[in-house]
Chains A and B, each alone.
Chain A
Amino acid sequence: MTPRREEDQVRRLLAEAAHPPVPADLLPRATARGLRRRRRRRVLRRTLWTLAAALLVAFLVWATVTQPWLGPPADIAPPVGGV
């Protein structure tokens, strides 16, 4: 544990250090970047949802066409022998 006095002095040092001026372009820069990021996220989200929907549709179509829950057709018959 450092003595309280030192801590207070360091606290004062940090608070009293020269305050940097806020650049004028900070707000527009941050806003533009934030908008870009939000747009990118929205596009990504939309793409993923579309992909998921497409996959679901494809699966449903495939399932209705092939009907995999019906067993394989019993098309193995003994060869017709003897003529």
Chain B
Amino acid sequence: MREREAARRRCHEAEFEAFVAGAAGRLLHTATLLTAEPAAANPRAQQLLAAALASTYAHWAGLRGEDPYDRTRQDLVARFARGAWRDWHLWRLRQRLHLLHRRPDVAPLETVTPRERLVMVLRLYEGVAEEQTAAQLGLPLQRVRTLCNRAVSQLYEAHLDARTKPRQSPPEPQQPHGTRGPRGNPVASHPKGPQDPQPDARAPRAVVAP
């Protein structure tokens, strides 16, 4: 009995080791994108990933055909989402107090809110379908779409645009979180409205507008 138990454990250990060898690199990259840490110093991403992997290993015997990669990613996402909002506010506070030096390689990712980042990374890096993302995060589909679009346009402005265009002025201080939406940028004024099927939110304004 005891021997069989030990043999099974060794088998699980070998399987888990193979899984980690194959998946850890990608998962760690995902975690690092989520936490917006630089690749060279990502203690929080490592911590998240270790916890998620530990959970997967603890349930290894009961996986029964479930994809361990999906399970680990889900766990990782849930852990990140739980701590993300608090961390974001701490980060803003530190930034306001000028305690934080902006790091050039990941700064753009840090300017996107954790939730937007989460949706964006799941959709664009992990390639999870919109419906699945919405189900995993417990959000309506439309909200997932909005979050992803907002993150993309903001990141595009903050990083990709800056790379192609020469910068005229030193980077201005971050705008407060709340005023980000209606900023008159070329991206936000894109045909966002007509394709957003939110008639209840927009129709009354259209009536008043003329």
Contacts and interface: CB of A to CB of B under 8 A. Distances in A.
Interface of A: 1-3, 6-7, 9-11, 13-15, 17-23, 26-27, 29-31, 33-35, 37-38, 41
Contact of A20 (B39, B54, B120): B39
Contact of B39 (A3, A14, A17, A37): A17
Interface string B128-165: 00000000000000000100010111011001100000
Contact of B53 (A9, A21, A30): A30
A16 to B, nearest CB: 11
Contacts of B187: 2, 6
Interface stretch (B26-34, B166-174, B198-206): B26-34
A29 to B, nearest CB: 5
Nearest to A41: B58
Contacts of B28: 20, 22, 26
B81 interface: no
Contact of A26 (B38, B53, B155): B53
A34 B124 CA distance: 30
Contacts of B54: 29-31, 33-34, 37
Interface of B: 13, 16-17, 20-21, 24-25, 28-29, 32-33, 38-40, 42, 45-46, 49-51, 53-58, 60, 105-106, 120-121, 124-125, 145, 149, 151-153, 155-156, 159-160, 187, 190-192, 195-196
12 contacts: A2-B152, A2-B190, A13-B159, A15-B125, A17-B32, A18-B38, A18-B39, A22-B25, A29-B50, A34-B53, A37-B58, A41-B58
A22 B49 CA distance: 10
A36 to B, nearest CB: 8
Contacts of A15: 125
A6 B153 contact: yes
B17 A11 contact: no
Contacts of A22: 24-25, 28
Given A13-B160, A37-B54, 7 more contacts: A10-B160, A14-B33, A14-B120, A20-B29, A30-B20, A34-B58, A37-B55
